[in-house]
Amino acid sequence: MIVDEIYSKNSERKLQEFNMRERGIISLKDALEKNQNGPGIIAEYKRKSPSGFSNKSNTDILKYFDGIQRIIAGISILTEPQYFGGTPLDAEAVQCYNKPILIKDFISSESMIKSSYMSGGDAFLLICDFLDYASIKKLVQYGKKLGMDALVEVHDPASVKNIFPDENVILGYNRRNLKTLKMEDNSEEMYDNLKSYGLPVVLESGINHENINKLHIEKYQGLLIGSSLLSGDTIRW
């Protein structure tokens, strides 16, 4: 499986060695909780994905965010290089917007979190379907020392047990099964499981103008949207 392969190669990744952070931390959790106009949009930037997406329309990252910065609460940058074409330089570039930056990667170590911080990131992703409770707890607490929020994401209901709730945690439900790369929407059941933690909840993957009014987005504090926005979709609710 592709995601398993990505995790297995994390030890070989070249991480950010120099501090490119140009400003202090901006809390993604605070930005979502303070958003007054429904769930805040976290706009994701990526060049490609194993699910078949290819970013052909918005190759200039700054031009892209110039056009949407007024409607978004945060920025997500995919930094995994092989399958997503990512680079830490993208995170460095978008610090100018003074929006919280989520480093979207397959993080499994403290060194990857430190690299995310030095790239300009304010938050990082941890995936419960691939990391156990002890690992997530350790990484959440390490990020907390740096002042970073953690988006703790789950798809499989059996992986909810791996969540470590802390004051710097945002919860996410990913509609895509990362083991099969297929959409398997179980959002109503999963939302009920996640809301019991009393933390902001973000809905992720496959959100577009055709389905947004069917997803009960009013429940969520955030929507992580990538491919549809990058493809020019106009999303309204």
Annotation marks residue 14 as catalytic: no
Between CA 53 and CA 218 the distance in angstroms is 27
Annotation marks residue 44 as catalytic: yes
Is the per-residue pLDDT at 125 higher than 50? yes
The range of the structural domain enclosing residue 205 comes to 2-8+32-231
Of 108, 187, 205, 227, which is the active-site residue? Answer: 205
Average pLDDT across the chain, whole number:
94
Of 153, 162, 227, 228, which is the active-site residue? Answer: 153
Residue 173 within any structural domain of the chain: yes
For residue 236, the model assigns a pLDDT of 59
Q: Encoding tokens for residue 128?
A: 């419960």
User: β-strand 182-183 against 176-177: which pairing, if any?
Assistant: antiparallel
For residue 143, the model assigns a pLDDT of 98
The enclosing domain of 220 has a CATH number of: 3.20.20.70
Residue 215 within any structural domain of the chain: yes
Residue 73 within any structural domain of the chain: yes
Annotation marks residue 58 as catalytic: no
Annotation marks residue 188 as catalytic: no
**By the 8 A CB rule, do 203 and 42 touch?**
no
Is the per-residue pLDDT at 237 higher than 50? no
Is the per-residue pLDDT at 186 higher than 90? no
Annotation marks residue 153 as catalytic: yes
Give the torsion sign (CA, 133, 111, 120, 89): negative
Of 27, 29, 46, 92, which is the active-site residue? Answer: 46
Of 92, 99, 104, 168, which is the active-site residue? Answer: 104
For residue 235, the model assigns a pLDDT of 65
pLDDT confidence band for 22 (50 / 70 / 90): very high
State the average pLDDT over residues 49-58.
89
* pTM for this model (two decimals): 0.96
For residue 67, the model assigns a pLDDT of 94
Of 116, 159, 162, 174, which is the active-site residue? Answer: 174
Which residues have CB under 8 Å from 201's CB, separation 6+? 170, 171, 172, 173, 191, 194, 195, 219, 220, 221, 222
How many domains, in total, are found in the chain?
1
Tens digit of each residue's pLDDT (9 = 90 or more) over 102-119:
999 999 999 999 999 999
pLDDT confidence band for 51 (50 / 70 / 90): confident
State the average pLDDT over residues 40-45.
97
Residue 237 within any structural domain of the chain: no
Residue 22 within any structural domain of the chain: no
For residue 89, the model assigns a pLDDT of 96
**By the 8 A CB rule, do 50 and 232 touch?**
no
17-31, 140-154, 172-186: the lowest-pLDDT one = 172-186
**By the 8 A CB rule, do 201 and 191 touch?**
yes
State the average pLDDT over residues 82-101.
96
Between CA 220 and CA 202 the distance in angstroms is 6
**By the 8 A CB rule, do 188 and 162 touch?**
no
Residue 24 within any structural domain of the chain: no
Between CA 76 and CA 94 the distance in angstroms is 10
Is the per-residue pLDDT at 49 higher than 50? yes
Is the per-residue pLDDT at 229 higher than 70? yes
Residue 123 within any structural domain of the chain: yes
